[in-house]
Amino acid sequence: MILASSSSRRKFLLDQLGIGPFKVIEPKIIENNSQNILPKKIVLESAYNKAASIKKKIKDEKGYIIAGDTIVCRSKKNYFKALDTETVRKYLSELSGKKHFVYGGICVISPKGVIARKLIITEVYFNRILKNELNDELLLKDGIGKSGGYGIQGLAIKFIKKIKGSYTNVVGLSLPDLYNILKGLGFKKY
């Protein structure tokens, strides 16, 4: 089992699934941050590119390669990873009091080279965020490197009114969907 990711959240999620042991190998790809491409296409392509890049790197090794990607989207605008606190503040301000979607893409390559992909969409509803709350340095730092400028498992949880769909998709990798993909590819833990 190989996780094609640099995300500590995805590693934590895979640990929770209890299907280890697994290796973590960081893929080297250029992520597509275009506003002109549908988020479902971006996450599916990105997940595939991550998995395929690891497959090329470890040609002789056998195992399942797992990759994922997520993007937050609202009103046809993609919210990619926030690179600084100002972007986090801007994203949270725009998402405040509104519904948005978290698009998750999963790609698994089996030891036999069979490729399985899945798109998962989760609706997330934010309560209204007050201006003074957007000055919380811990909150702003917590959102750096995360799509939409927040992590549902972090400090932003206090703004979540409700979600419809997979919670773990919002964290970074939908575990029920991943598990079903693995079973469909013949994975047996025992």
Which residues are tagged catalytic?
Answer: 69
Direct distance between the N- and C-terminal alpha carbons of the chain, in angstroms, rounded to an integer? 14
Residue 162 three-state SS: strand
Please give the C-alpha separations between residue 72 and each of 59, 60, 83, 105, 169, in angstroms, as whole numbers.
33, 36, 15, 12, 11
Residue 49 DSSP symbol: H
Degrees, nearest 5: CA angle 79-100-124: 120
What span, in angstroms and rounded, lies between the C-alpha atoms of 44 and 127?
Answer: 29
- What is the CA 90 to chain-centroid distance, rounded? 20
